[in-house]
Structure formats: C-alpha cells, structure tokens
Amino acid sequence: MQKGDKQFRVIIANTSFYLPILPENNYPIWK
C-alpha cells in the first residue's frame, strides 16, 4: 500500500463521518 493510499482512506473516513450533518442536497457518495 502506498503512502498516498492511506491518506486517501483517512479522507474518505472523515468524509463519511461528516456527511450525515451536511445539508440535504449532498447525495450519498458512499453508495
């Protein structure tokens, strides 16, 4: 696994965590 891949996974995790509190116009990208 590359160094950038780990950072990318962290960003995805943070995004998934904060998505529920975002406005309703944000579509579920985790689908």
Query: Can you give the pLDDT at residue 20?
Result: 59
Query: Can you give the pLDDT at residue 11?
Result: 74
Q: What is the pLDDT of residues 1-31, one digit of tens each?
A: 567 777 777 777 766 666 555 556 555 655 4
| Segments in 1-31 forming alpha helices (H) | 3-18
Query: Can you give the pLDDT at residue 1?
Result: 57
Q: How far apart are CA 18 and CA 22, in angstroms?
A: 7
Q: How far apart are CA 13 and CA 18, in angstroms?
A: 9
Query: Can you give the pLDDT at residue 22?
Result: 57
